[in-house]
Amino acid sequence: MSSFFDNIRRVTPYVPGEQPEGKVIKLNTNENPYPPAPAVGEILAATDADLLKKYPEADIGSLVRELSKTYGVKPSQVFVGVGSDDVIGMIFLSCFAGEKPIAFPDITYSFYDVWAELFRVPYRTIPLKEDYTIDVNDYDGDWGGVIIANPNAPTSIELPISDVEELVKRHPECIVVIDEAYVDFGGTSAMPLIEKYPNLLVTQTFSKSRSLAGMRIGFAVGNEAVIKAINDVKYSYNSYTLNRTAITAGVASLSDPEYFKKTCERVIRTREAARAELSKLGFSCPESKTNFLFATHESIPAEYIQKELKKRDIYVRYWNKPRINNRLRITIGTDEEMAALYAALKEIIASCR
């Protein structure tokens, strides 16, 4: 191979969950089973295509302002990006730029270590306890940053807000990021703490609770000076990130808090029913504050169940990784989709007897 390859970075890319086409039951990528707020469809149908010839707002101002109203913060405390992946990537680039390692759990969202490697940020992983919970004492030390998904993925477990505050308080030396992708499904947000702790950043996404995975919208809330630093990096990287339809769809989604509350509650109800139902089938799952369950069966290996479900056109997520290789991450679908899942599981379990 020619020598220009010497300059090319080799990475082990993150493998996203399968995105099968056609008539399947997709419980593998934590999407919301319900459509976005009706206002989203209305605003998109009314798009004036002529406007698309112009760049979108560089500061994403209209969406930033609506987010600031929705969450009771100042516009200057809000950063918006192309999904929370982009938001957290920008935080890594802008806030984890020192020489000290950053810390995060060994079992968590699998992008943290790839971002750290990509941006040459030194890092250390801190093992979760045996029961997959986080002990904030394990984070004692002098860090370049800390990032915690809360509720954590793929475990679905929430770190109590008092522990989150303790962690943020103990680490004034660095930015502590709380990645709340799933918080709207019954968790407690750390957002009210941002006034008290300038080193706290809270990130959220429109992909799960707002049913807008297809639009790619995420945001961070924090101290003004920190948000400005992230924006400075963003402007130096790509001035125009969210396109015009994403901005208007995001604003439309925020305009309907009733619908938002209702769909989150529906997912929570189905989740609680699913946990009980799966328990009857011999599964156990930690208490979930997310739109998925982290299930293990008393006798049948997780990998086998995943393959058997796939044969029946039902997709759930499985990782062949230490400590979680007998677990399935099952997204909460509609009640109908879950009923199909239970029926398939019963069949699989019966065939193993």
Asked if 12 touches a copy of itself (CB under 8 A), the answer is yes
Q: Answer whether 219's CB lies under 8 Å from 42's CB.
A: no
Cβ-contact 318, 353 below 8 angstroms: no
Q: Which of 65, 124, 169, 244 binds a copy of itself (CB under 8 A)?
A: 244
Work out how close the CB of 224 gets to a copy of itself at its nearest, in angstroms, rounded to a whole number. 12
Q: How do beta strands 200-205 and 145-149 pair?
A: unpaired
Report in angstroms how near the CB of residue 181 gets to a copy of itself at its nearest.
13
Contact present, 281 and 345 (Cβ < 8 Å): yes
Site string for a copy of itself, 26-45 (x = CB under 8 A): x--x-xxxxxx-x-xx--xx
Of 49-57, 123-131, 325-333, 345-353: span binding a copy of itself (CB under 8 A): 49-57
Strand, coil or helix: what is 33? coil
- Render 50-77 in DSSP notation, one character per residue: GGGGSPPPTT-HHHHHHHHHHHTS-GGG
The answer to whether 293 and 274 are in contact (CB under 8 A) is: yes
Is 94:256 a contact under the CB 8 Å cutoff? Answer: no
Choosing from 25, 27, 56, 103, the residue that interacts with a copy of itself (CB under 8 A) is 56
Is residue 82 close enough to count as binding a copy of itself by CB under 8 A?
yes
Kindly state the smallest distance separating residue 38's Cβ from a copy of itself, in Å.
8
Q: Which stretch binds a copy of itself (CB under 8 A): 10-18, 185-193, 273-281, 307-315?
A: 10-18
Nearer to a copy of itself, 160 or 172 (CB): 172
Under the binding rule (CB under 8 A), the answer on residue 350 touching a copy of itself is: no
Cα–Cα–Cα angle for 204, 205, 209, rounded to 5 degrees: 110
User: Per CB under 8 A, which of residues 174..233 are in contact with a copy of itself?
Assistant: 174-175, 198-199, 207, 211-216, 225-226, 229, 231-233
